[in-house]
């Protein structure tokens, strides 16, 4: 257990240092150009319309009318002006998170794995037990399942403790499934990957859970800052870049941990080398001459 925790923290600090690598910083701008540009365009053209639709939907929901009316009254009308943007932001966050993670997996995953392998594990054999198509299929499948779990869990978000647990837990599980595969696809065989993900399930899930909370941090910043809501169309690319950095760090964290675990697994499987036995050579000493004889021996 102590060895596992030490490996997790060791991979954490190494991943944090790798995020300062100039190549990764430049690559982190690619998802911003794709997802950030799309988010800015959608927010710029459809932000006001989306907020109005949410407000009309809340006002038209009969069961919530007494509660929303009371909250709007005690807040001096501020509740109605804030609830629409907050709901739009809350619905946009999962889309941005999923987009950032998939783009990091597509644009940066192989680069991070190659960088870590060349600098830390140059002698680790590449057995290529995974493929790019397998990564894509797994990412899409697990992402759809995570979105379904998020939709099912939405009613439980009204319970204060669960809203802080369920979404990061789902994001952590998704990161664990997607990034563990990407970290091991090039170097591990299929059997090795399955064994490592089975034996290291809980440490990898813990890394994913911490990543989920790190990914939720930018969302909490903009969701709690009422002054930032009118500027949200302009800030969308900035938050996409923050999500990208979080998932790039997570990718490096998973890669360091998984490749180190793979190296230990192969080292433990090496047969014990027993040095060959050295043959014992016995020599017969020459006969001892008796010097007291009256004549030399024939």
pLDDT in tens, 255-284: 999 999 999 999 988 764 445 555 555 555
> Per residue in 199-216, pLDDT tens?
999 999 999 989 888 877
d(CA 143, CA 235): 25
d(CA 297, CA 125): 72
> Per residue in 216-238, pLDDT tens?
766 666 555 555 566 666 677 77
DSSP state of 122: T
For residue 268 the two structure tokens come to 């433990």
Instruction: Please say whether the beta carbons of 166 and 216 come within 8 A.
Output: no
The average pLDDT across 69-87 equals 70
Q: What's the pLDDT score for residue 273?
A: 46
Please report the sign of the dihedral spanned by the C-alpha atoms of residue 209, residue 215, residue 217, residue 221: negative
> If phi over 0 gives left and psi between -120 and 50 gives alpha, with beta otherwise, what is residue 76?
left
For residue 245 the two structure tokens come to 């950095």
The average pLDDT across 18-28 equals 83
In the chain, alpha helices (H): 2-18, 22-27, 29-31, 37-60, 65-74, 78-107, 109-120, 132-153, 160-163, 166-184, 190-199, 201-224, 232-269
d(CA 199, CA 177): 14
For residue 89 the two structure tokens come to 């932001």
Burial of 240 (0-12, 13-18, 19+ CB in 10 A): buried
Q: What's the pLDDT score for residue 147?
A: 86
pLDDT: which is higher, 79 or 148: 148
CB burial string 109-130: b at 16+ within 10 A, e below: bbebbebbbeeebeebeebebb
d(CA 65, CA 90): 21
The average pLDDT across 244-251 equals 86
* Interacting residues of 118 by C-beta distance below 8 A, sequence separation 6+: none
Q: How far is CA 47 from the centre of its chain?
A: 30
Please report the sign of the dihedral spanned by the C-alpha atoms of residue 135, residue 171, residue 97, residue 175: negative
* Interacting residues of 70 by C-beta distance below 8 A, sequence separation 6+: none
Above pLDDT 70, what percent of the chain? 76
pLDDT: which is higher, 30 or 266: 266
pTM: 0.75
The full DSSP string for 30-42 is HHIIIIIHHHHHH
Q: Where along the chain do its domains lie?
A: 2-44+89-267
**Model confidence at 192: pLDDT above 80:** yes
> Per residue in 37-60, pLDDT tens?
787 788 778 878 888 887 777 777
Instruction: Please say whether the beta carbons of 35 and 97 come within 8 A.
Output: no
Q: What's the pLDDT score for residue 274?
A: 46
């Amino acid at each position: 257990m102590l060895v596992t925790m030490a490996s997790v923290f060791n991979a954490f600090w190494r991943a944090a240092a790798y995020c300062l690598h100039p190549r990764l910083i430049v690559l982190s701008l690619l998802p911003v150009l794709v997802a950030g540009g799309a988010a800015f365009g959608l927010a710029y053209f459809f932000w006001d319309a989306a907020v109005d639709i949410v407000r009309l939907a809340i006002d038209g929901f009969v069961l919530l009318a007494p509660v929303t009316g009371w909250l709007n009254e005690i807040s001096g009308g501020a509740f109605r002006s804030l609830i629409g943007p907050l709901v739009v932001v809350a619905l946009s966050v999962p889309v941005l998170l999923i987009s950032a993670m998939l783009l990091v997996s597509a644009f940066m995953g192989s680069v991070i794995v190659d960088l870590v392998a060349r600098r830390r594990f140059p002698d680790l054999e590449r057995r290529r037990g995974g493929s790019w198509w397998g990564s894509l299929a797994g990412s899409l499948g697990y992402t759809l399942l995570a979105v379904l779990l998020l939709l099912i869990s939405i009613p439980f978000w009204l319970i204060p403790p669960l809203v802080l647990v369920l979404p990061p837990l789902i994001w952590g599980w998704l990161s664990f499934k997607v990034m563990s595969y990407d970290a091991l696809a090039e170097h591990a065989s299929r059997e090795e990957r399955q064994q490592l993900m089975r034996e290291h399930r809980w440490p990898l899930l813990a890394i994913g859970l911490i990543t989920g909370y790190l990914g939720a941090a930018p969302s909490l910043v903009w969701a709690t800052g009422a002054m930032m809501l009118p500027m949200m169309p302009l800030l969308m690319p900035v938050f996409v870049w923050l999500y990208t950095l979080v998932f790039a760090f997570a990718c490096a964290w998973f890669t360091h941990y998984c490749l180190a675990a793979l190296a230990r697994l192969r080292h433990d499987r090496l047969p014990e080398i027993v040095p060959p036995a050295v043959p014992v050579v016995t020599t017969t000493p020459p006969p001892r001459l008796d010097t007291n004889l009256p004549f030399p021996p024939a």
